[in-house]
Amino acid sequence: AEDVVERSLALRTALGDRRGEGWLLERLARVCIAQGNTHEARALAAAACGIAVEVDDHALQVAASALRSAGTTNGTDAVPANH
């Protein structure tokens, strides 16, 4: 799944689709959380948040903001349900 998301991200980036790029960064952050890599997840979520502000996508901003705190809730990786 990670490989498919990464290829999709590369395509969205090449096309200049910032909204799509933001959502794929959010998805990659979820993959990182599932793999236990909360540091990378937070970095990806922060990038997604920046894009969300840039393209004025409130739903993306909420989803990515929730992921930015991954691993900070009682030592667990609390992740909200998929968008």
Q: What is the DSSP string of 45-79?
A: HHHHHHHHHHHT-HHHHHHHHHHHTTT-BTTB---
Cα separation, 22 vs 29, whole angstroms: 11
What is the model's pLDDT at position 83? 42
Owner of token pair 């992921």: 67
Helix (H) or strand (E) holding 32: helix 18-34
Tokens, residue 77: 């990786």
pLDDT along the chain (83 residues), means of 10: 89 96 96 93 96 97 90 46 43
What is this structure's pTM? 0.82
Q: Letter for the amino acid at 71?
A: G
